[in-house]
């Protein structure tokens, strides 16, 4: 049957390569007949309600009255998407390519990521993109204005944006210079007036200033995020967008130069915290894709010196370097993180209200205003901000005490940073590089740092009995045995021995591998879930793209190719199956046990709310798909491509 369908489809496509249809008429009729739940998508949730309504059989009528019958959820959703694209560009009559409607799902999704999704996620902080960025609900303020904050030292940016504010009063834009020294107290006093932070500007070919472009994660996230950007850059490189990946590094260099760190994201309430440090890996991946010339070498030098600056001032600073010589996440700031949705901390305020014998509403109101101070509540929010800096917000992994832990992921990342810098200095700069102020960086010094860290990680984090690296609880001076996906970070960083790698594989793969890929943690580690202890999105049963990519690349370094191929297939199957059944959806995360994007933990699932067609997918999920396809061997790729059972198509004259 499949062979017959393929031959029949090839015949139909060659005889009828395209049809011309009235877009609005067919689009509305399709929705009326097949979108039975009214969500402006055609999915497996659209159940048949009458004899012909919702039966997943639809006749599209061309301009000559001929009919093309299309059968099946996937093909009908493709038809809906193709007509939506025609409507978007204002066509009353549109040309529909038959091959696009019946396109193989893997080819279709990969092509959409490459040709449409990356463009849909691209932003700039300049006149061309401000209206789109400011339309974000997170830019609302007490006085109704939109606030754009500019570093005190960036006079060019200040003049540029002040001019835009005057030229476009409809933006209701206020330009504010940041103070030379940004303190947690200053950030707290911005409550109600938070806004976007500028990123890099450059001159285009015409000599006009433009924003350096970047990729946003998608959905409600309309800014450049720290660790998301590394994985997005890998996806961009996979798809040939080398310049855009390079631009993202340039924006990070801007952040380090003017804000002192790579920010959680470029909004004012993130000024006091960073995110997991991937810059050395990111800039090295980009550099290897650039032309190997003097201009690229100079770019590498600037980027590397910025990475070194951040390493020294942020990660090796007093707040994040611990007494044992390893590092922790530490989110500076005062009070409750202002970006969190209303009600998110209800359980915490309830707990502290009972503890301090104060009504919850009174405690919350007065604490937010700074009218009462409790050290235990302050400590709770310090740990919460630290958890958000880790990128793993939220998880039961640290028992709401994130700043008390020297973590496997952070120290693996810093080992990788140290190793990268040593390697780049040795390979590209003859082992030595000089700062503008005369300070010297040598390959040997950075190699020693990495080796010292490796020894400390083996001393404090490696568990010989269990055969895995665990986080170290600094407050209680013991390891925290919480099996989670960061177990693969030491493999990705290439710090584990071959023997350790084998032990990690034997322990972590059976524990964390699920039908849809690697889970954030084991069910046992997470513990029981209840109304008082709700599910958290970075724990079991949820799976995330960065964890998959880290695991794949880490295992490949130790020659566990067959395991990687299996893990990649499971993840790509999950993405493809959900895209096929749910109108092309590409979400933020999955339930990897049930292999579904229908996730009901904490913040829902970004990337699932759209009408007709998704224009962007989700950044690191897009990247994982393209990276995974490049890893998957031909046999498994062919199996993935055959995911959709053939459906009959029939063309007849009215």
Question: Of 59, 60, 24, 56, whose CA–CA distance to 43 is shortest?
Answer: 56
The two structure tokens encoding residue 626: 């393209």
H-type helices in 189-343, by residue range? 226-238, 242-259, 279-289, 294-310
Residue that has been written with the tokens 């040997």 in this structure: 444
Distance, in Å, from the CA atom of 490 to the CA atom of 2, rounded to the nearest integer, reads 44
* Secondary structure class of 335 (helix, strand, coil): coil
* Cα 453 to Cα 106, 402, 418, distances in angstroms: 42, 20, 9
Tell me how crowded residue 205 is: count the other CB atoms within 10 A of its CB: 6
Measured N-to-C along each axis, helices 561-581 and 545-557 cross at an angle, to the nearest 10 degrees, of: 160
Catalytic residue among 238, 310, 384, 588: 588
Cross-strand pairs, 6: none
Element (H, E) at 122: strand 122-123
Tell me 487's DSSP state. Answer: G
Catalytic residue status for 430: no
* Secondary structure class of 518 (helix, strand, coil): strand
The torsion of the CA quartet 460, 464, 470, 472, rounded to 10 degrees, works out to -30
Question: Of 77, 81, 115, 86, whose CA–CA distance to 23 is shortest?
Answer: 86
* Secondary structure class of 199 (helix, strand, coil): coil
In degrees rounded to 5, what are phi and psi of residue 77?
-70, -35
What contacts 3, CB < 8 A, 6 or more positions away? none
Residue that has been written with the tokens 């045995």 in this structure: 481
Catalytic residue status for 136: no
* Secondary structure class of 635 (helix, strand, coil): helix
Distance, in Å, from the CA atom of 539 to the CA atom of 521, rounded to the nearest integer, reads 5
Distance, in Å, from the CA atom of 265 to the CA atom of 224, rounded to the nearest integer, reads 5
Question: Of 431, 419, 511, whose CA–CA distance to 457 is shortest?
Answer: 419
- Compute the C-alpha angle 304/310/311, nearest 5°: 85
Contact 472, 461 (CB under 8 A): yes
Catalytic residue among 35, 62, 232, 393: 393
Report the residue count for the chain. 654
Distance, in Å, from the CA atom of 459 to the CA atom of 405, rounded to the nearest integer, reads 15
* Cα 566 to Cα 561, 579, 582, 631, distances in angstroms: 9, 20, 24, 11
Q: Which residues are catalytic?
A: 393, 588
């Amino acid at each position: 049957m499949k062979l017959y369908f393929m031959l029949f489809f090839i015949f139909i496509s060659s005889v009828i390569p395209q049809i011309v249809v009235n877009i609005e008429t067919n689009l509305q009729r399709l929705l009326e007949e097949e979108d039975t739940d009214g969500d402006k998508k055609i999915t497996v949730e659209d159940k048949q309600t009458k004899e012909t309504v919702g039966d997943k059989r639809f006749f599209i009528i061309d301009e000559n009255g001929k009919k093309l019958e299309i059968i099946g959820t996937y093909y009908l959703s493709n038809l809906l998407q193709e007509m939506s694209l025609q409507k978007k560009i204002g066509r009353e009559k549109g040309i529909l390519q038959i091959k696009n409607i019946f396109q193989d799902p893997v080819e279709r999704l990969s092509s959409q990521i490459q040709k449409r999704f990356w463009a849909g996620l691209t932003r700039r902080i300049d006149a061309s993109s401000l209206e789109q960025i400011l339309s974000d609900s997170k830019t609302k303020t007490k006085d109704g204005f939109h606030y754009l904050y500019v570093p005190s030292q960036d006079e060019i940016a200040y003049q540029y944006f002040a001019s835009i504010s005057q030229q476009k009063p409809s933006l209701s834009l206020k330009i504010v210079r940041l103070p030379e020294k940004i303190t947690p107290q200053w950030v707290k006093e911005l409550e109600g007036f938070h806004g976007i932070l500028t990123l890099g500007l450059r001159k285009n070919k015409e000599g006009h200033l433009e924003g350096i472009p970047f990729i946003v994660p998608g959905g409600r996230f309309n800014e450049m995020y720290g660790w998301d950007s590394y994985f997005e850059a890998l996806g961009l490189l996979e798809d040939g967008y080398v310049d855009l990946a390079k631009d993202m590094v340039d924006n990070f260099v801007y952040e380090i130069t003017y804000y002192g760190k790579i920010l959680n994201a470029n909004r004012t309430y993130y000024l006091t915290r960073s995110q997991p440090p991937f810059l050395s890996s990111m800039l090295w991946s980009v550099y290897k894709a650039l032309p190997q010339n003097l201009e690229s070498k100079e770019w590498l030098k600037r980027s590397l010196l910025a990475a070194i600056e951040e390493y020294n001032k942020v990660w090796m600073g007093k707040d994040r370097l611990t007494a044992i010589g390893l590092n922790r996440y530490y989110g500076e700031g005062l009070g409750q993180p202002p970006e969190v949705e209303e009600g998110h901390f209800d359980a915490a305020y309830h707990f502290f209200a009972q503890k301090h014998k104060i009504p919850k509403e009174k405690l919350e109101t007065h604490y937010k205003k700074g009218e009462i101070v409790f050290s235990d509540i302050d400590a709770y929010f310090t740990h919460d901000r630290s958890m958000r800096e880790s990128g793993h917000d939220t998880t039961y992994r640290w028992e709401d005490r994130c700043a008390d832990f020297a973590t496997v992921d952070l120290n693996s990342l810093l080992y990788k940073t140290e190793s990268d810098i040593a390697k780049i200095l040795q390979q590209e700069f003859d082992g030595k590089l000089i700062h503008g102020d005369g300070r010297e960086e040598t390959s040997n010094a950075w190699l020693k740092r990495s080796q010292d860290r490796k020894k400390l990680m083996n001393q404090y984090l490696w568990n010989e009995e269990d055969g895995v690296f665990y986080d170290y609880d600094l407050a209680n001076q013991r390891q925290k045995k919480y099996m989670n996906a960061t177990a693969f970070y030491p493999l990705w960083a290439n710090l584990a021995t071959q023997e350790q790698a084998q032990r990690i594989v034997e322990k972590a793969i059976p524990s964390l591998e699920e039908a849809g890929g690697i889970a954030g943690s084991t069910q046992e580690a997470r513990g029981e879930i209840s109304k008082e202890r709700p599910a958290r999105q970075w724990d079991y049963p949820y799976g995330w793209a960065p964890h998959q990519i880290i695991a794949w690349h880490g295992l490949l370094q130790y020659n566990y190719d067959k395991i990687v191929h299996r893990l990649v297939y499971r993840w790509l199957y999950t993405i493809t199956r959900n895209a096929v059944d749910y109108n092309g959806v590409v979400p933020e995360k999955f339930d990897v046990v049930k292999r579904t994007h229908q996730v009901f933990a904490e913040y829902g699932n970004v990337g699932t709310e759209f009408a007709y067609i998704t224009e962007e997918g989700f950044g690191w999920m897009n990247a994982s798909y393209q990276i995974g396809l490049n890893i998957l061997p031909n046999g498994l790729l062919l199996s993935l491509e055959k995911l959709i059972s053939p459906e009959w198509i029939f063309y007849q004259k009215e």
